Structure 1
Amino acid sequence: MEMLRELDLKGSALKELSSSIDNLISLVDLKLKNCKNLVCLLDSFYKLKSLEIFCLEGCSRLETFPEIMDTMERLRRLDLDRTDLKYLSLNDCENLVCLPDSFYKLKSLERLTLQGCSSLEIFPEILETMERLSDLDLSGTTLKELPSSIDNLIGLEELVLNNCENLVCLPDNFYKLKSLKRLTLQGCSRLEIFSEVMDTMEMLRDLDLSGTTLKELPSSIENLIGLVELNLNNCENLVCLPDSFYKLKSLEILDIYGFSNLVVENLLTAIGGRLGKQKDIVGLSSLHRLDLSESNLENLPTTIKQFPCLEKLILRKCKRLKSLPKLPPSLVYLDADDCCLQGGLVLMHLL
């Protein structure tokens, strides 16, 4: 039907749409407001290539939004107010420039993924609490910042911002995300500053800062008291860690390979030297994997033997490494592949 441009089904008792709706090849405006029996949309919805306005406001039984398997270049308005939407995926909607200001009214939403929405520069203010949203993926967007009202996402457990190359900072109040378990900022190549952690974050277990341009971490990082895994791979501008770093008592995995400027000896003084000055090990006592591959260290400090749980030590391609000190008896895996200097063998005193 080449001529039909507007279809208004507001308030009807529809439970679903016919799969042949994609024959409405010129449809511009589709209104399904207050279709309270509508429970799902067609998987082929994305084939409505002419669609510009799609209103689902008040479809209170609609729980899921289908995957958009191809580009929809013309869609500019999507109204989902007062739906029961739990999962919204808008991956690779390259022309999407903003979300509606009323986004926060999606009270049932549990997961939102906007991966690859390369024109999305602004995330809307969240003017009311959203208790159920637990997963938010904004990878590959062009966001420069997140709104300070993000702390209204009180149930947020996973925030993914991989390859957001325009992101320059996190909001100062990010530490108020008390439910957050995983924060991923891999490849955020303009991120130079990590916000102060002004209060304890007990739930955050996994923090990935690899490929950022961070120059330092705040001393308040010690407030990440539940942190288990920290990834700092290829943070080439990072030159040191704060003295408080050793207080990360729950840290089990530390990956810091690929540094060009980091003086690893100073790094290990921060995390190991502190231990040597104390009768009892109070910091990093849970560390069981340490990856220092491709770093410029020549020697490991003798204090490394005091890490009581260290099981894996990875030193691949540490070209300047000359020797290893006595290592902790807990160690079960050592990878020192390609660690010879000008053909010389690495001298290892393992135990």
Structure 2
Amino acid sequence: MSFLQYSSLVPDYTGLREDAKCSMVLSMHDLMHDLARCVIGDELLLMDNGKEYNSGEGNCRYALLINCVGQTKFSYSSTKLRAMRFFNCDGIQLPLFTKSLRVLDISKCSCGKLPASIGKLKQLKFLSATGMQHETIPEHVMKLSKLIYLNINGSLNISTLPTSVNKLRCLLHLDLSGCTGLCSLPNSFGDLTNLLHLNLANCYDLHSLPKSFHRLGELQYLNLSRCLSLNLMVDINAVCCLTKLQYLNLSRCSSLIHLPETIRGLKDLHTLDISGCQWIEIFPKSICEITSLKFLLIQGCSPWLEKRVRESQFKNDMLALPKFIVQRAAFGMCSNISRLQSVDPAELEIECLENVTSIGEVDVVNLTYKSALSKLALAWTPAAERFVEDEDLLRKLQPPDTLKGLQIQGYMATSFASWMMNLASCLPYLVRIEMVDLPRCEYLPPFGQLQHLELLILRRILSLRKLGGEICGGNGAFRKLREFTLVKMDNLNEWITKVSANGEFMFPSLHKLEISQCPILRLNPCLPRALEWRIEASDQIIADFYHTGSSSSLVLSKMHIRSCRLLPNDWKLLQFLPDLQVLELTHCWFYELPKSIGYLTTLRSLQIDGCDSMTKLSKWLVSLSSLHELIITGCLNLVYLPAFVQKLSALEKLEINDNDALQRWCRNSDSWISENGIKNKIYFDGKLMSTKKQEDTADIDRTDVRDYRNPCDEDEYVDCFAMLELGESSRMGR
């Protein structure tokens, strides 16, 4: 049992940088807190807004200064002070008695400047000064010869490091991540021979590593993620000389196009992250010889590389993440899920969770501690035998509260773990949720209270019969939801589109709505609000009547209907879409266009694709007074155009694709085309139509050219062709 537990409170990250949002919020039991206060007693000085809180008599070892403005004065001195932290202070003053200080944290101060007096802290070992405003690390920091930890991440103005950086000979940990203006490192950087941890992630302008970089022989952790300007075609060789590296992150480095054979020299390498490196052309066989390699992260790489990794014969049981398949041991007594304990990837897909044999195996994984994790997929095989109940297992697989994307698939329980029912507090930053193959689920968690949720996908949840207020979790739900998808919800028969007493839409800000293969779904009491709809094989929605006022608040501009089997007179939906601009009909089973299409007086584009049962265009088409574009693709039984097409006064483009019979009819109907004035508006397969007369003339011209060519050399042939062109122009003029 730990003294610290995860807090149920939602942390306030307002104003903090992205890296700070990865921190964890913990809580302590009241009794343990009282004990801690009793033990620390006289050793802690707390100063809040200039007022001191301390019961000791100058024996403080730790000081926390909060909301201190201007010059801070102490009423006493203590030579025992070892650690100081400034929080939300606009000025930093280090009193003389701090010369024995070992730890100094000014990362939460707004002043952005390190005082010159910091150079007097000869015993200082830990310095955190994130977000500095200096253009380089001040020289007085180089006087801290005993410093072992230095963190200046997010210091945007830093462009280089001083050559005297080699004076920090004891330095073990250096964090320069997010120093986006950092262009170069001095050659003296290689003198930091004791360095174990170096973080250069998101140093976008860093163009090269110093020639001395290979001398960092003790380095175990190196992060070069998103060093977009770094020339790894050259510098990768220096990296491969660091034989004690255990963690190497080269993700999203656009210049990385190959891994050299010398990578075999990284004998201690445990984790290699090359995710997002789409241009890697060479994957060396020698990487398979690194027996210490346990994790290879390749998400976002080319399909070729992913295939090459799968086919490679590694000398150990290396894992290629993000996909992790849970497997049972030979005798079925345990599984391999505990191997995830020592990895912290950005994305993780855990499949075959039914192979977990005990809850104890999952305890050591500690997903909640994996602060780098942004996307997580948890998948069971629905019909497979279980050793652990799905709900118990899900309870132990709680992700970190910084998670952005969550997918749950094959979950067989009827209810969810407590953290799933309290997503607003446990996973407040979720942007995307996908729930797939949940055959026994009758009720969904209150997703509506997730204030950042933008995408929600529900697929094959066969026991769900009603989508109502329970998914909202209260008022003010789904404020940022942009896309909502329902797929193969065979038994879903009702969606309550308005849920609050004041008639508020369930999804007030929806941009895209997709409903596919939901055959019995009805929308009550009105149509949902969205900019774009896609409805596939969900005929009940199209056949229903809706309240006469249900369309008054719609913002729908584009509709795509696919695989509808209704007869033309059964299409009722279209008459409730008065402001529709674009309508696409694909693989629908009608013999003519629905009668209700005549209600779409504002329609500007009509696209009909693959409706092979259609033999004619409906006369109701003449009501489309605003139609600018009519595109017909396929529809092989449509072999002519009716005369009323000429009444489409606003028509600017008539395009016919993949229908030879209809194209042939148009070419043979010169008089019809001329009467309707659409000669220059008809396109075949994306190209402007030429009439039969023009084609015949072109055929004659090509024959004439062939006749003239034999007796002429190349130059004479060109002249003959020019004369023919001139003759044709004269004929056209007459």
Q: What is the aligned partner in structure 2 of residue 151 from structure 1?
A: 190
Q: Which structure has the highest strand share of the two?
A: 2
Question: Percent identity between the aligned chains?
Answer: 23
What is aligned with 2:237?
196
Shift of 1:250: 2.0
Residues 280-324 of structure 1: CA deviation (Å, up to 9, x unaligned) = xxxx3124212376xxxxxxxxxxxxxxxx999x997xxxxxxxx
- Trace 1:188-337 onto structure 2 (pairs within 5 A): 188-193=227-232, 194-197=235-238, 201-213=242-254, 214-260=256-302, 262-266=304-308, 272=312, 284-291=314-321
Partner residue in 1 for 2:107: 68
| Counterpart AA for 1:225 | K
1:120 counterpart (158, 161, 175): 158
**1:137 matched residue in structure 2:** 175
What is the CA–CA distance in structure 2 between the aligned matches of 1:315 and 1:37, rounded to whole Å? 49
Task: Note the 1:4-23 alignment, pairs <5 A.
Answer: none
Change (3 A) 1:247 1:232: same
Amino acid corresponding to residue 123 of structure 1 in structure 2? L
Change (3 A) 1:108 1:240: same
1:176 paired with 2:218, answer no
Query: 1:117 Cα shift?
Result: 1.0
Identify if the C-alpha distance between structure 1 residues 204 and 245 changes in structure 2 by more than 3 Å, giving closer, same or farther.
Answer: same
Unaligned segments of structure 2, at least 5 residues: 1-57, 324-335, 340-346, 350-378, 382-408, 410-435, 437-734
1:135 Cα deviation after fit = 1.0
Helix, strand or coil at the partner of 1:254 = strand
* Residue 149 of structure 1, CA deviation: 1.7
Following superposition, the deviation at residue 209 of structure 1 comes to 1.1
C-alpha contact 2:203 2:227 (8 A) present in aligned 1:
yes
CA drift of 1:219 comes to 3.0
Q: Which has the larger radius of gyration?
A: 2
Q: RCO (CA 8 Å, sep 6+): is it higher in 1 or 2? A: 1
1:56–1:81 CA contact under 8 A, matched in 2: no
Residue 265 and residue 74 in structure 1: after superposition, are their counterparts in 2 closer, same or farther (change >3 A)?
closer
Q: Distance in 2 between matches of 1:177 and 1:58?
A: 36
Which letter does structure 2 place at the counterpart of 1:288? M
Q: CA deviation at 1:201?
A: 3.5
Q: Answer yes or no: is the 8 Å Cα contact 2:137–2:162 preserved in 1.
A: yes
The code of the aligned residue for 2:225 comes to Q
Given the alignment of the two structures, is residue 185 of structure 1 paired with residue 224 of structure 2, yes or no? Answer: yes
1:64–1:263 CA distance, 2 compared to 1 (3 A): closer
Q: Aligned with 1:66: secondary structure? A: strand
Structure 2 distance, partners of 1:178, 1:65, is 28
| Deviations, residues 252-305 of structure 1 (Å, cap 9, x unaligned) | 211112124754445667xx2xx5xxxxxxxx3124212376xxxxxxxxxxxx
- The amino acid across from 1:113 in the alignment is N
> Gaps (5+ residues) in structure 1?
1-12, 276-283, 294-309, 317-333, 339-351
1:162 to 197, 201, 205: 201
TM-score normalised by the chain length of structure 1: 0.62
Tell me the CA shift for residue 82 of structure 1: 5.5
Shift in CA distance, 114/252, structure 1 to aligned 2, threshold 3 Å: same
Q: How many residues align?
A: 271
Helix, strand or coil for the counterpart of 1:67?
Answer: strand
- Residue 117 of structure 1 aligns to a residue whose secondary structure is coil
The aligned amino acid for 1:164 is: C
Question: For 2:308 and 2:66, how far apart are their aligned partners in 1?
Answer: 65
Match of residue 649 from structure 2: none
Distance (Å, rounded) in 2 between the aligned partners of 1:20 and 1:224: 45
Letter in 1 for 2:194: G
Matched, 1:105 2:143: yes
What is the RMSD of the two structures over their aligned residues, measured on CA atoms?
Answer: 4.3
Change (3 A) 1:261 1:218: same
Give the secondary-structure state (helix, strand or coil) at the position aligned to 1:68. Answer: strand
- Cα 1:139–1:181 change in 2 (3 A) is same
Distance 1:82 1:290, change over 3 A: same
Q: Secondary structure at the match of 1:195?
A: helix
Question: Which secondary structure state, in structure 1, belongs to the residue aligned with residue 160 of structure 2?
Answer: coil
Q: Secondary structure at the match of 2:222?
A: strand
Deviations 1:147-193 (A, max 9, x none): 22222222211111121111222223322212211111222222341
Q: Specify whether residues 169 and 262 from structure 1 end up closer, same or farther in structure 2 by C-alpha distance, changes over 3 A only.
A: farther
